[in-house]
A and B are shown apart, each in its own frame.
Chain A
Amino acid sequence: MTQFIATLVMLCSLLLGGCSQPNKPSLYQQLGGAEGIAAITDGLLYEIEHDQRIVHHFADTDIERFRRLLAEQLCELSGGPCVYSGGTMQQSHSSFNISLADYDALVDGLIKVMQRQNISISAQNQLLALLAPMYKDISYR
């Protein structure tokens, strides 16, 4: 029994060990650096364009500017060498009245893109953990 527990503890620490190594790559690196984030941004723009539920919110959006700012934001959030130069989330979504369903649709799109790019589940969840709390600043403004 003691041996069993010891083996279990060892297995668990091996399994979890990968996440606590001192020189673990940053989320920015796990997302594929500048190139990876550019691909996520483009992929998300594609998903938005093809999603009838939310595309109307982007009718008056300057897409080039949106692309640049989104990439900057993802880069800075994930620990990359960028500084986000856009407005606050509250400012940039005021009067858009983004609903929970809209937010869900965008997260769904992001997940599709990350799955397509074979980003690890762990990196996906780290990014979602950073983006999910923005809901309160973005929704119903």
Chain B
Amino acid sequence: MICTLTRQLVLLMLLCYPVTVLAGSKIIATGGATSIEGSAGGGIVPWAVTNGYASSGEWAATAFATVVGVDDFTLNVQGASVSYDNQWEWSFARQRFKLDTLGGELRQDVFGMKYHFAGELLYTALPQLSLGLQYKKNRDFALPQAVGARDDSGIDLYVAATKVLFDQVAGRNLLLNATLRATKAHQTGLLGFGTATDNNYQLVAEGSAVLLLNYNLALGVEFKQKPNQLAFAHEQHWRDLFAAWFVNKHLSLVAGYADLGSIAGFDRQQGYYVSLEGAW
């Protein structure tokens, strides 16, 4: 796991090296990190910001790798995104959820699209507002089907509001995010979508609060409400705590603690969260 991450880190740094002159105009850290679904955000919550540093009229690209290791499972995610005009974001993430105790794995692809339609993160009283869509497709459906999932694909829709408030806590800036999501996904889609008896969308709320210690360092906390639709086992809300280091506009690192609650009958799934992002 760590080896894979190190290899990806080295690769990202090599990729970053020759193009250090190219970076968008957005202020450092305002592109956020990349969430496990590939959308710009915190660790588990998509935000209204677009990935990378593309301001008006500019393009940006990002690539990321994330590992979340909890007691009985390990989630590996890799992906990339392209953003334009500080308005559009297109993303892709490939997730591999290893069932360390049970054996086997569940794989899922997430294609994301985000449109920033109002507000500016830093400059307007109105928070930055975005609409997002995530098309999720299971690459392994035998287990999700066996535990009651109806479909191997689903679409999440969300609206996110994100705002940086200046000079809030001990002179530091505070980023607040609220996301409302409509979803049919079980365990964010890793256990499929919908059930035989209920194929309705569930409305869930997600939130993040991040204290920006300076331009490069931030401390955050997140909460992600989750539906609990499958009969075979309880699904619980997720939460995390993280520290983010925006080394420069090309490289950022997030490390934290994740509490994923009960997953497939395994209670109290807690552990580490590590994510690395390269941006151009």
Contact = CB atoms under 8 A, between A and B. Distances in A.
A104 B26 contact: yes
Contacts of A111: 27, 215
B171 interface: yes
A15 B172 CA distance: 12
A101 B120 contact: no
Q: Classify the secondary structure of A's interface with B.
A: helix
Contacts of A126: 166-167, 171
Nearest to A18: B170
B44 to A, nearest CB: 26
A129 B123 contact: no
Interface in B114-152: 120, 122-125
Contacts, number: 71
B58 interface: yes
A101 B57 contact: yes
Contacts of B56: 99-101
B55 interface: yes
Interface in B226-259: none
A122 B57 contact: no
Nearest to A99: B56
Interface residues of A, number: 28
B55 A104 contact: yes
Contacts of A22: none
A122 B170 contact: yes
Interface in A9-32: 15-16, 18-19
A122 B168 CA distance: 9
B171 A120 contact: yes
B55 A125 contact: no
B25 A132 contact: no
A120 B172 CA distance: 10
B202 interface: no
B169 interface: yes
A15 B167 contact: no
B85 to A, nearest CB: 9
A126 B170 CA distance: 11
Nearest to A103: B123
Interface string B26-56: 1100000000000000000000000000011
A84 B152 CA distance: 63
Contact of B167 (A103, A122, A133): A122
B20 interface: no
B124 A15 contact: no
A30 to B, nearest CB: 10
A128 interface: yes
Given A104-B27, A125-B173, 18 more contacts: A16-B170, A53-B25, A99-B56, A100-B55, A105-B25, A115-B215, A120-B171, A121-B172, A121-B214, A126-B166, A128-B173, A129-B167, A132-B123, A133-B123, A133-B124, A133-B125, A135-B122, A136-B124
6 contacts: A99-B57, A100-B86, A100-B120, A105-B25, A122-B172, A126-B166
Interface of A: 15-16, 18-19, 53, 99-105, 107-108, 111, 115, 120-123, 125-126, 128-129, 132-133, 135-136
Interface of B: 24-27, 55-58, 86, 120, 122-125, 166-167, 169-173, 213-215
